[in-house]
A and B are shown apart, each in its own frame.
Chain A
Amino acid sequence: MSSEELFAEYGEKLNPRVLAEIQESLPSKVTKAQVKQILDLAVEEYARAKVEAGEAVGLVAAESIGEPGTQMTLNTFHFAGVAEMNITTGLPRIIEILDGKKSLSTPMMEIFLKKPYSTGKDIKQVAMEVKETLLQEVIAEISINIAEQNVEVKLDKEKIKQLCMVPSQVLKAMQKSFKISSKKDGDAIIMKPSGKELNFNQLYHLKEKIKTTYLSGVKGIKQVLPIKRGEEYVIITSGSNMKKVLELEFVDETRTITNDIFEAAEVLGVEAARQVIMQEVYKVIENQGLNIDKRHIMLVADMMCANGNIKGITRYGIISEKASVLARASFETPIKHIIHAALLGEMDELNSVVENVMLNQRIPLGTGLPGLVLEVKE
C-alpha cells in the first residue's frame, strides 16, 4: 500500500497505538488523499484529547479505583471461568496486589505449551510433569512398627504408573531426601532410622515427614488443570513457580504467566511485574463488571514500580518514600516521622499537596501550578 510512507510520516505526530488502530480499521478501498485526510483529522482529535499540564492525574487515578471499591464484593472466592479452580477476586485481591504482599492467598499460573503439546498431545502427562507430586499421593498404606523401629510404606502401583514412574525411582527419591537406610521389600519400602531408639512420637513425626517427600514435578505447583482454550490447550495451575516452570522444555516461555508479582519481578524483571500488576487489577475489575480506564491502573502500577523494586501502597512502601515530612506525618504514625525528621534536621520544601493545605497555601497542582513572571521596570 502506498500509504505506508504516509503512516511513517505521521509516526511522529500520532501515538503508535492510535496509528495502529487507524491502519487496522481502514476500509479496503481508500485513496491516498483520503488516508491523509483521516490522519490529519486524527491528529487534530488526538491533540484535543491530550492532558493538560498540571492535571492531578494521581488523584484522579486514586478516585477512579477508590470510588468503585465500595461497590466491589468482598466475596473472597470466585470461580475463574473454570468451575474447578478457586481464586481470590474482588476487593481482597485488589488489596493484596496494591499492598505489595509477598505471599499470595491463591498463587496461580497459566502455562502455555509449545507446538505439538499445545494441540493436546500427551496433555495429561505434560500436566503431571508440572505438578508437584509428594509421596503421600502414591502411598497405598503407611504404617509404623514400633517393635522394629521402622516405617513401612506400601506403594500404589497404579498411581505410580499414572505418574510415569517406576517404584525404584520412588525409592531413589526417598533415599535422596532422607539419610536413613531404606530398602525395598516387595511392594513396600521400609525405612529404618539408625542410631538411638526413637519413641513413638518421634516415629510419628518421621512418618509425617516421609509422607511429604518430594517425588517429581515442579515444587510449589499444587494443582494442575489442563483446559482447552479455543484451539489450544493451556495448563492452569494453583501454586506458582515461574523459574522452574520456564525451564521445562515443553513450556512456551513467551506467553506463560503467573499472578505472583514478586515472582514475575524476580524472574523477568520489574517491567514484567508492572504488567502483572496491571493485568491482575484489571482482571478483577472486569470480573466485577466495573469500568475503569487502563490509564489509571497503569499509573498505580508505575508508581509501585517507580524505583525498580515493588513497593506496596502502605506506610512502609510508597508513602515512606515521600520527600515531605508533613505529607508522611499526615498519613500514619505522625510522631515517628516528626521525631526522625528532627534528628536529621530534615527540611520540608512544601512541594506537595497536604503541607500546603496545612499552611493554607496554594497547592502546586492544576490552577495552583502556574506562577506569574513579571518584568519589573525600574
Chain B
Amino acid sequence: MEEQYVYKEVKSIVFGLFSPHTIKKMASAKIVTPELYDKEGYPVDGGLMDVRLGVIDPGLKCKTCGSKLKECIGHFGYIELARPIVHIKFVPLILGWLRATCRDCGRALLPKNKTEKVREEMKRLEKDESLEAVRRLIKAVMTTMKNINKCPHCKAKQYKISLEKPYTFLENEKRLSPIEIRTRLEKIPDEDCEVLGLKPQVARPEWTILTVMAIPPVTIRPSITLETGESSEDDLTHKLGDIVRINQRLFENINAGAPEIIIEDLWDLLQYHVTTFFDNDIAQLPPARHRSGQPLKTITERIKSKEGRIRHNLAGKRTNFSARTVISPDPMIGLNEVGVPKIIAMKLTVPERATEWNIAHLKKFVEKAPDQYPSANYIVRPDGKKKKITTETREQLLEEIQPGYIIERHLMDGDIAVFNRQPSLHRMSMMCHRIRVLPYKTFRLNPAVCHPYNADFDGDEMNLHIPQTEEARAEAEILMEVQTQLISPRYGLTIIGCMQDAISGNYILTKDLELSRKDAIALLIMVGEEDLSRLPKKDTVDGREVFSALLPKDFDFVGQTRKGDEVIIKNGKLKKGYMDSHNLGQESGLLLRIMVKQYGKDFTLQYLHKLFKLGIYTLDKYGFSTAISDTDLPAEANQKIQAILDRAEHDVDSLIEKYHDRDLETFPGKTLLETLELKILEVLNKARNEIGKVVTEYAKHDTGSGIMTRSGSRGNPINMAQMAACVGQQALRGKRIEKGYYNRTLSCFKENDLTPKARGFIRDGFKHGLTPSEFFFAAMTGRDSLMDTALRTPKSGYLYRRLANAMQDLKVEYDYTVRDASSRIIQFHYGEDGMDVAKTEGGSINIKAIIKQVVGEEA
C-alpha cells in the first residue's frame, strides 16, 4: 500500500479570498441549468450534478480526473451571476470600508502621511506582536475614519452610510445597489487596502461582492438513495438549484428588457437565495425551509458549533478496531489486564506481517476455520489488496501466504489494547491494558483500576481500541500502560490503590487477627504468593505476619493511620500499627508511593494485586456483612443523645426568646434575624457533632459498619450517627430551610415558627424513621443536591474545555522553559523548580527520607 503514495507533510496553510478570476480558473464546469438529471436518471451536463464535479455513484467515472467513487475528491464548478450579489458574511466589513473611503476617489479617508504611518505601525506590530494587535490597530483607525466627512485627497464631501439589515446599504437614506458598491470598492487603491485591514494580494475588497459564484463539488453534497429507490438531494443542492433557477430567470428578463421592477424583484430574490446558501440563520431573514418546514442546513451551519465540520469531523476523529460493551468486575485478573469477550476477540484483529521466521506460526491462524478461535479474518497482500478468509478461500489463501503478507489475526491473551471510559477527563481515563480473552459478553476489569476511570459496575460501558502499528503499540505500552499511570500527575501520589472490601480485609487482618499456620498458608497461596519462607514457623500466626509475608524483605516505612497511630514497617515486617485506607487507599498515603520509587512500577502493580486479593480472601474466610443491628446503641447512649438534643433545642428556644426581646447582640453588618440564624446553626451543628462522638464511642466496634468506618473503606462516623441517632440539620444554600409557604416552611407549622423542627432539623435517625415533615425536609435537600449536580456538570465541562483549549500547546522545551506554539515564553523554569509532578512525592522530593538515610534513625 505504501508504495502507491508519496506522503507529504503540510507545512502551512494560507487563508485568502477567491477572486472571480480564480473561481473561474479552478472550476471544471460552468453550471447553467437548475435541472439535475435527465429522463434516464443520468446527470445533466451543465446541471448541478454534472459528472465533471465529481462522482457519487458507484460505477461512474469522474469526467475531470477519471477516478472512481471514493478516489475522486470532487471538483468545483461556477455560475455567472446576472447581477452582483453581496456576500452576507462580509456585510459588516463592507460597511466599514464604505464609510472609511472616499465616495469619489476611493482613497482611504486619511491624509497621505498618516496612511504611511499606520502601515509602518502595522508592519511593526505584525513583526513584534501578533496579528491580533494589528487587528486592534485597524479597528481603531477605522473608527477615526468613519467620522471624517471630507476627503483629504479630492476634498469631496462624504455622506452618511448606514446599513439596513441584513444586506441593504443606504447612503443618505438612498439605496446603494451592489453594482455601485462594487464600483466604489474597486476604486480603492492597493496601498489603502492595507489600512482597511486587507492584504490586496489575497483579498481585494470588491471580491466580497460576488459576480461569479463557486459551486461546491457534488462530493460534499451527496444525494441519498432511499430504500424506495427515490433519490433525495442534499440541502445544499436544493439551495443551489434555487440560485441557478433565479439566476437564469434574471438573465432572461434582463435580455428581454423587462421592466426595472421585475428585475429588481428577481435581483432581491437572488440575493436572498445566495444569502441563505451561505447562512440560513440570519436574524432578519426567514430561514429557507424544506417542504416539510424544517430549515435547510447550509454552509455556515455545517461548519459551526459542536456538531459542525470543525469540531465534529476535523478536531474529532473516529476509529476502526474498537469495541464497546458493559463492564463487570473481576478481581482475579491483573490490574493491567482487561477481560475481552470471545466474540469481540474474534472480530477485532491485530495485523502481523509474515516473515521467514513466523510464517509457520501465522499459517496456523489461517488454517483454522474463521469461526474458530483463534484464527484470522483477513490477509493483506503486499499490493494492498485485502482478502477475507472464509471456509472457501482458506485453502487457497494458505498456499499464497509468503513473507510480506499481513495476516489479521484474532486478539489473543497478552495483546495490547487501549481501554477508555468517558468522560475522558484526565489521561488516566485512557490506559493501556493486556488482553485476556474470556467467556461471556462483558469487558472484565479489576476493581482496583475503577478509580482512575471513575467507573462502577451499575451498567457502565467502556471502549476498547486495538493499536494497529508497531509504533502505536510501543507508545501505548511504554506511555499508557496501567503501571505507568500509578502516580497521578495532579498531586504526585498513587491514584490506584485498594478499595472497599480490600481495605476492610487488610484492616481486619492486620488489626488483631490470629490464624493457624495452615490457614495462613492457605491464604497466601490463594493470593498467589509462593514464597512462604517469610512466614514465621509458629503454630498460630499473627495477621500482621501474613501481611508482612508479601512485603519486600528490605522495605522500611514509617507512617500514620487515619486516626494518627504510628505505623512502622521495618525490614519488610509490619512492626507496629495496622493498615487502613490512609496507607492502602487511593489518592492517599506515601506507602504505595515509596514502593513505586523503591521497587518500580511493575513490582508495585503485582504487589497491589496480591494485597487486594489478600483483603478479599480474608473477608472470604472470616465473613463480613453489615446489619441494621450494627447501629444499635445501648440505652445509656440513647439517653445521652436525647439529652444533647433536648439541651440544644432548649438553647435554641432561649435564643429565639432573646431575639423576640431584641436582646441579642448582632454581629457587625448583619441583621438581628441573620445573627439569630447563625447562632442557631452553630448550636445545632455542635449538637450533631457531640452526637457523632457519642455514637462512635458507644456503637460496637467489631461490626461490619464499624469496621468500614474505622478502616475508611466506606462511610464515615457522620453516616453512622445519622443512621443510629440523628440526621441533623438540612441546609439549603448554607441556611436552614426557610422557603415554602407564607412565613412558614410547611403547612403543618405555625407561621414564623423558628424552632429547629420547623426549619429542617431532623431529630430522628434513619433507623428509627423520620416523621413526615422531616422526610419532606430531607427530600428538599436531596432534590437541591440533584439540581446542583445537574447544573454543575455543563459549567465545569465548559471551564475544562476552555482551559484545555487555551493550554493544549504549552510544552517544556529542552531548556526547561515552558513555551506556547509560537515559542512565546510562559514560564522560565517549569513550576519554578522544573519538577514533574508525576515524578515527585506529593509535590516535592522526599528530603526527610534522604536525611534519614544518611544520618540514621535518630533524626
Chain B residue, CB-CB nearest to A15: B833
* Surface stretch bound by A, among B181-189, B235-243, B744-752, B834-842: B834-842
Bound-state CA distance A94–B13 (Å) is: 37
C-alpha spacing A352/B13, complex, angstroms? 13
Q: Is the CB of B198 within 8 A of A346?
A: no
Residues A69 and B796 in contact in the complex (CB < 8 Å), given A18-B833, A338-B15:
yes
Is the CB–CB distance between B809 and A352 below 8 Å?
A: yes
With contacts A18-B847, A46-B835, A330-B311 taken as known, whether A62 is within 8 angstroms of B816 at the C-beta atoms is no
Q: Is B587 engaged at the interface, CB distance under 8 Å to the other chain?
A: yes
Interface size on B, residues (CB 8 A): 105
Question: A83 contacts which chain B residues (CB < 8 A)?
Answer: 667, 678, 681-682
CB distance from A350 to the nearest CB of B (A): 6
Contact mask A20-36 → B, CB, 8 Å, 1/0? Answer: 01100111001000100
B491→A350 contact, CB < 8 A: no
In angstroms, Cα B792 to Cα A52, docked, is 35
- Please choose the segment from A189-197, A207-215, A254-262, A320-328 that sits at the chain B interface, where 4 or more of its residues have CB less than 8 A away: A320-328
Q: Is the CB of A30 within 8 A of B855?
A: yes
Q: Let me know if A27 and B855 touch, CB within 8 A.
A: yes
Q: Are B734 and A327 in contact (CB under 8 A)?
A: no
Q: Is the CB of A63 within 8 A of B426?
A: yes
Partner of B89, one of A86, A95, A335, A366: A335
- B473 CB, min distance to chain A CBs, angstroms: 13
Interfacial residues of chain A within 283-306, with CB under 8 A of chain B in the complex: 291-296, 298-300, 302-303, 306
Whether, in the assembled complex, A272 has its beta carbon less than 8 Å from a beta carbon of chain B, the answer is: no
Question: A119 within 8 Å of B by Cβ?
Answer: no
A-contacting 9-mer, from B332-340, B348-356, B715-723, B823-831: B823-831
Q: How far is the CB of B843 from chain A (nearest CB, A)?
A: 5
* B850 pairs with A42, CB closer than 8 A: yes
Beyond A22-B851, A295-B831: 18 further Cβ-contacts under 8 Å? A27-B858, A27-B859, A49-B840, A50-B834, A51-B839, A59-B808, A63-B489, A64-B490, A67-B490, A70-B425, A84-B667, A224-B669, A292-B491, A293-B843, A313-B803, A345-B15, A347-B14, A357-B314
Q: Which B residues touch A63, using CB under 8 A?
A: 425-427, 489-490, 804
Query: Is A365 part of the contact surface with B, judged by Cβ < 8 Å?
Result: yes
Which range contains the number of A residues in contact with the other chain? 35 or more
In the bound complex, what is the Cα–Cα distance between A27 and B857 (angstroms)? 11
Q: Does the CB pair A74–B795 fall under 8 Å?
A: yes
Residue of B nearest to A83 (CB): B678
Q: With A15-B834, A25-B851, A306-B826 in contact, is A353–B809 under 8 Å at CB? A: yes
Residues from chain A with Cβ under 8 Å of B493 in the complex: 291
Q: Are B807 and A303 in contact (CB under 8 A)?
A: yes
On whether the beta carbons of A25 and B848 are closer than 8 Å, the reply is yes
A335→B88 CA distance, assembly (Å): 12
Evaluate contact between A60 and B427: CB separation under 8 angstroms. yes
Q: Which positions in A face B, CB cutoff 8 Å?
A: 15, 17-18, 21-22, 25-27, 30, 34, 37-38, 41-42, 45-46, 48-70, 72-79, 83-84, 86, 91, 94-95, 98, 222-225, 238, 291-296, 298-300, 302-303, 306, 313-314, 317-327, 329-331, 334-335, 338-355, 357-359, 361, 364-367, 369
A51 touches B795 (CB 8 A): no
Q: When chains A and B are docked, how far (Å) is the Cα of A83 from the Cα of B831?
A: 35
Please, how many angstroms separate the alpha-carbon atoms of A76 and B311 in the complex? 32
Which residue in B10, B130, B797, B811 is a CB contact (below 8 Å) of A369? B811
Question: A303–B807 Cα gap in the complex (Å)?
Answer: 8
Q: Contact: B811 with A58, CB < 8 Å?
A: yes
**Residues A323 and B13 in contact, CB atoms below 8 Å apart:** no
A70 touches B492 (CB 8 A): no
Residue of A nearest to B308 (CB): A334
- A323-B821 contact, Cβ under 8 Å, with A17-B833, A300-B803, A341-B15: yes
Subset of 15 A-B contacts with CB under 8 Å: A15-B833, A58-B808, A61-B807, A75-B733, A77-B733, A300-B803, A319-B805, A323-B130, A331-B805, A335-B304, A343-B203, A344-B131, A346-B131, A358-B315, A364-B809
Q: How far is the CA of A330 from the CA of B311 in the complex (A)?
A: 6
A225 to B795: give the CA distance in the assembly, Å.
Answer: 33
Which chain B positions have C-beta within 8 A of A329?
A: 310
Q: Which residue of B lies closest to A354 (CB)?
A: B315
Q: In the complex, which of the residues B10, B304, B796 has the most CB atoms of chain A within 10 Å of its own CB atom?
A: B796
Q: Do B850 and A70 touch (CB < 8 A)?
A: no
Does the CB pair A345–B135 fall under 8 Å?
A: no
Contact B734 A56 (CB under 8 A): no
State in angstroms the CA–CA spacing of A341 and B131 once bound together. Answer: 9
B1-53 at interface with A (beta carbon < 8 Å): 9-17
- By beta carbon, the residue of chain A nearest B479 is A367
A95 cross-chain contacts in B, Cβ below 8 A: 795, 799
Alpha-carbon separation in the docked complex, A367 to B480 (Å)? 13
A41-B854, A357-B315 known; A344 and B134 CB under 8 Å? yes
Within 8 A of A (CB), among B247-300: 300
Nearest-Cβ distance from residue A345 to partner chain B, whole angstroms = 4
CA distance in complex: A354, B13 (Å): 13
A-B contact count (CB 8 A): 346
Contact B832 A75 (CB under 8 A): no
Smallest Cβ-Cβ distance to A33: which chain B residue: B854
Nearest CB to that of A90 among chain B residues?
B792
- The answer to whether A303 touches B806 (Cβ under 8 A) is yes
CA gap between A303 and B300 in the complex, in Å: 32
| Contact partners of A56 in chain B: CB under 8 A | 808, 810-811
- A34 partner residues in chain B, CB cutoff 8 A: 854-855
- In whole angstroms, how far apart are the Cα atoms of A224 and B491 in the complex? 37
Q: Is the CB of A298 within 8 A of B821?
A: no
Q: Which residues of B contact A77 (CB under 8 A)?
A: 733-734
Output the least CB separation between B478 and chain A (Å).
9
A18 pairs with B854, CB closer than 8 A = no
A319 touches B427 (CB 8 A): no
Question: A62-B804, A298-B832, A345-B16 are known contacts. Are A38 and B854 too (CB-CB below 8 A)?
Answer: yes
* B114 CB within 8 Å of chain A: no
User: Across the interface, which residues of A come within 8 angstroms of B304, CB to CB?
Assistant: 334-335
Say whether B835 contacts A50, CB under 8 Å: yes
A65 vs B803: C-alpha distance when bound (angstroms): 8
Q: Is the CB of A84 within 8 A of B678?
A: yes
- B814 — nearest CB in chain A belongs to which residue? A53
B113 at interface by CB-CB < 8 Å:
no
A321 to chain B minimum Cβ distance, whole angstroms, is: 6
Quote the shortest CB–CB distance from A28 to chain B (angstroms): 10
Which residue of chain A is the closest to B788 with respect to CB atoms? A74
Closest residue of chain B to A27, judged by CB? B859
Q: Which residue of A37, A334, A352, A369 is within 8 Å of B808 (Cβ)?
A: A352
Mark each residue of chain B from 673 to 710: 1 if its CB lies under 8 Å from any CB of chain A, else 0: 00000100110000000000000000000000000000
Give the distance in Å from the alpha carbon of A222 to the alpha carbon of B845 in the complex: 45
Closest A residue, CB atoms, query B803: A62
Contacts of B10 in A (CB 8 A): 350, 359, 361
Q: A323-B822, A347-B13 are in contact. Are A84 and B90 (CB under 8 A)?
A: no
Interface pair A66/B800, CB less than 8 Å apart: yes
Distance from A34 Cβ to chain B, minimum over Cβ atoms (Å)? 5
* Complex: A21 Cα to B813 Cα, angstroms: 27
In this assembly, does B475 line the interface, its C-beta being within 8 Å of a C-beta of chain A?
Answer: yes
**Interchain CB contact under 8 A, A41 and B853:** yes
Q: Within 8 Å CB of A296, what residues of B?
A: 490, 837
Q: How far is the CB of B58 from chain A (nearest CB, A)?
A: 25
A85 vs chain B, min Cβ distance (A): 8
**Nearest residue, chain B, Cβ from A342:** B15
Query: A48 vs B835: C-alpha distance in the bound complex, in angstroms?
Result: 9
The residue in chain B whose Cβ has the minimal distance to the Cβ of A45 is: B845
User: B538 in the interface, Cβ–Cβ < 8 Å?
Assistant: no
Docked-complex contact A342 and B203, CB < 8 angstroms = yes
A334 contact set on B, CB distance < 8 A: 303-304, 308, 310
| Given the contacts A55-B836, A69-B799, A367-B479, A350 and B203 also touching, CB distance less than 8 Å | no
- Contact yes or no, B427 A54, CB < 8 A: no
B668 in contact (CB, < 8 A):
yes
Q: Are A299 and B810 in contact (CB under 8 A)?
A: yes
Q: Which 5 A-B pairs have the closest CB atoms?
A: A58-B810, A66-B800, A58-B807, A295-B831, A352-B821
